[in-house]
Amino acid sequence: MEKQGRQVRGRLVLVPCPLQGHLSPMLELGSILHSKGFLITVAHTKFNFPKPSSHPDFISFLTIPDHLSDHYLISGDTISFLLSINAECKPLLQDSLIKLVQETEDKIVCVIYDTLMYCAGDIASHMKLPSMVFRTNSLTTLFTYSKFPQLHQQGYITVREDLVQDAIPGLQHLRFRDLPMFDCPIEALMELARNSLNVRTSSAVISNTMECLDEPVSELQQQFDVPFLTIGPLLKIAQMPQCSLLEQDSTCISWLDKQSQGSVIYVSLGSLAMINAKELEEMAWGLASSNQPFLWVLRPGSVRGSECIDELLPQGFRECTSERGCIVKWAPQRQVLAHPAVGGFWSHCGWNSTLESLSEGVPLICQPCFGDQKINARYITHVWKVGLELENDLNRAEIARAVKRLMVDSEGKGTRQNAIELKKKIELCTMEGGSSYNSLNKLVELISCN
């Protein structure tokens, strides 16, 4: 079929999970597949609906008329939030899709849904539409969750203080303390893991990762009996600006322009993680005593129990760091990490932040809070060896030492060098003949067979 002189291979319906770390990679996937000749419809909840200015105009949107509120997110209960999204959205998304099928003149060749929006898989199968699962985190995380039932049965999942430093049987590199746990009842986490691991009705699992980072592809293919396609890092392949749900404060870029090369530590804990007032205080004084310039993202609501972060910053901190500190509510993170002044990233190690840092060759200080962040931190520090972890309770002396070690001291030289080497390997994956390049072509072929 041809439309406006362009070969059209059919319409794709993308169903993202409506959270920052999930939406941008899904839209990037849409942008790439659009460049390969597909028409793109994104079915998005009313909740967290992205502003039209923040996404390309070739994407048409289908609104899922939910009544979700950010109550769960504010309370930090991400797992309940995800379970209720699926329960509430299932009938609403089904109605919207039935209407779309009736009204569109294009053939819907595939429904690609975020693994956390597993209700879309059930709907696609019920409507006899081909579907694929999209994972916005690492395959090591998927592999770890696939071992949960067995580990649970063996009594390993509930945190046992005597085991936290021990290696997990069958999971290379990981200790029990690295398990992707959340602050929620174990039954809720097991239910979410079970639902999101159910890929039986899908013709492939697409993942925003790369062969050079993630090991268990062939084991997963055997276990789940579907092709696994690692096509990342999407941020480097898609030709589009990042879609941000919060307004990015670009004034920090002109501040970075004035700093010397590789001198700035960038600090951000992503869109969901929260800290308490004491941790904020330790972070502040740790940064102050490191003597390095810093760019710190303090997201409103990220300190438990307070909206106004300024009031929580310790007395005298702003004055004593005004020459070398910049604090913003939300930054254009990718631009920040690509800036030559940035020499390190103190991160919660969400998968997107991890990929964004690795793709720019920026080494990390890891402060994982929950879920897959702990796995990512372990890989950053012990497998790829491109960072160090703040292992104990946050403490200003340890923070100052970590910043110095990562960015200045000779002890950190190897880590900084490894980050540059890994950046090159990642670039190779996306180049012609590279693993992500080849997997992307395979993905287009697979969808086109539908």
> Which residues would be at the binding site for ligand UDP (CB under 6 A)?
20-21, 24, 244, 248, 268, 270-273, 297, 330-331, 333-334, 350-353, 356
Q: Characterize 270-285 residue by residue with b for buried, 16 or more Cβ atoms within 10 angstroms of its Cβ, and e for exposed.
A: bbbbbbeeebbbbbbb
Nearest approach in angstroms of CB 264 to ligand UDP is: 14
Which residue lies nearer to ligand UDP by CB, 337 or 400? 337
Distance CA 153, CA 198 (A): 19
Judged by beta carbon, residue 19 or residue 408, the one nearer ligand UDP is: 19
Residue 352 C-beta: closest distance to ligand UDP, Å: 3
* 87 contact partners, CB below 8 Å, separation of at least 6: 119
Q: Which is nearer to ligand UDP, 48 or 438 (CB)?
A: 48
**Side-chain half-sphere exposure of 425, counting CA atoms within 13 A:** 15
Looking at the Cβ atoms of 34 and 299, the one nearer to ligand UDP is 299
Q: Which is nearer to ligand UDP, 356 or 360 (CB)?
A: 356
How far apart (Å, rounded) are the C-alpha atoms in residues 356 and 169?
31
C-beta closer to ligand UDP: residue 331 or 380:
331
- b/e for 332-349, b at 16 or more Cβ within 10 A? bbbbbbebebbbbbbbbb
Closest CA to 34 of 48, 51, 18, 55: 55
- CB-nearer residue toward ligand UDP: 28 or 211: 28
User: Nearest Cα to 73, choosing from 103, 51, 48, 91?
Assistant: 48
In the complex, minimum distance from the CB of residue 205 to ligand UDP, in angstroms, rounded to a whole number: 18
Minimum CB separation of residue 158 from ligand UDP in Å reads 24
> Cβ 351 to ligand UDP, closest distance in Å?
5
User: Given the complex with ligand UDP, which of 205 and 297 has the nearer CB atom?
Assistant: 297
Q: Is 72 exposed, middle or buried, given 0-12, 13-18 or 19+ CB atoms closer than 10 A?
A: middle
Q: Dihedrals φ, ψ of 336, to 5°?
A: -60, -50
Q: Which residue in 352, 346, 288 sits closest to 315, CA to CA?
A: 288
